[in-house]
Amino acid sequence: MSIELRHFRCFLAIADTLSITRAAERLHLTQPAVSRTLRQLEQELGLRLVDRSTHHLALTPDGITFRDQATIAVTAFDQALRHAHRTVRPLRLGHAWSAAGTYTPALLRRWHRSHPDTPLELLRIDDRTAGLARGDVDAALLRGEVRAPGLLTERLTTEPRVVGLPADDPLAHRPALSLADLAQRTIALNTVSGITGLDLWPAAARPTSTITIGNTDDWIAAITGGRAVGVTTSATAQMHPHPAMAYIPLTDAPPVPVVITWRDGPGHPRIPDLIALAREVIGGRGVRP
């Protein structure tokens, strides 16, 4: 057997989601097919890439190293195909949730007026870098610290944190909440693209009950269904209002940075223009719709 591009894509889907099930959904394959493809890749390389010894999948040290190399290879292949088939290609801007918040319409409209020859496509992709690390987009609007190798970032603004609660929750009528108010509650944690973890709480007062979800829609469903409460930023409240949900300011948690991120190396020629526009619109300099 020889290694093919599909083996790289399968492994990267597993590395992004840390789940055979979610990787299969992303690739539109069955779970056995994903497991078999990963096993073939490991056998051909003579390396163990994924640790399956726990309830949750984890990359081995060899898997972490190979992920970075596989990302470079797949990105280069995809870029070569796009260049061959398009003379003018869209600029793809990824986000994991809430895009640029309330600045989103202004960003898109200003780009359309300034660069009508280059469409700006806004894509929601549910992973930590909104598809940037694996080459699905040219740049991304992200929240929180970006640790993926080979990426450059510029901070644009910060957003305060809020608590998402069922609208009929006893705490939903408070003007503000603290982390201590949530310590005895079940917390919904988005482990795929979210920025809230249990380390947000002091070590001695962390919640002991959590549920794991993989995207904003499931996060909202878990909360409005009464299964949990959650912590997010003000942009979620602005972009995802819900009649069965209340968003309450969280007073004692640090604000979340909003950054624009792009790959360190050759990329779409319009990326510098996008960074400059995001700096103006989201960073608050020269904003107009």
pLDDT in tens, 21-52: 888 988 888 999 999 999 999 899 889 999 88
Say whether both 132 and 182 belong to one domain.
Answer: no
Q: What is the pLDDT of residue 286?
A: 40
Domain assignment of residue 287, yes or no? no
Q: What is the pLDDT of residue 285?
A: 47
Pick the last residue of a domain from 30, 65, 84.
Answer: 84
Pick the last residue of a domain from 62, 84, 106.
Answer: 84
Say whether both 137 and 277 belong to one domain.
Answer: yes
- Per the DSSP assignment, residues forming a β-bridge with 93 are 122, 139
Say whether both 92 and 151 belong to one domain.
Answer: yes
Neighbouring residues of 31: CB distance < 8 A, sequence distance ≥ 6: 20, 21, 24
Residue-range definition of the domain harbouring residue 33: 5-84
pTM of the model: 0.70
> If you count them, how many residues does the chain have?
289
Say whether both 149 and 274 belong to one domain.
Answer: yes
Say whether both 23 and 92 belong to one domain.
Answer: no
Q: pLDDT below 70 — which residues of the chain?
A: 1, 54-55, 82-88, 285-289
Domain assignment of residue 177, yes or no? yes
CB crowding 106-126: b at 16 or more within 10 Å, else e:
bbbebbeeeeeebebebebbb
Task: Say how far apart CA 116 and CA 132 lie, in whole Å.
Answer: 24
Say whether both 152 and 262 belong to one domain.
Answer: yes
Domain assignment of residue 199, yes or no? yes
Distances in Å between the Cα of 24 and the Cα atoms of 9, 32, 83, 214, 252 are 11, 9, 28, 14, 39
Say whether both 105 and 27 belong to one domain.
Answer: no
Q: What is the pLDDT of residue 36?
A: 92
Q: What is the pLDDT of residue 147?
A: 84
What's the number of domains the chain is made of? 3
Task: Say how far apart CA 246 and CA 264 lie, in whole Å.
Answer: 40
Q: What is the pLDDT of residue 163?
A: 98
229, 187 Cβ separation under 8 angstroms: yes
CA trace torsion 63, 68, 69, 75 (10° rounding): 130
Say whether both 201 and 263 belong to one domain.
Answer: no
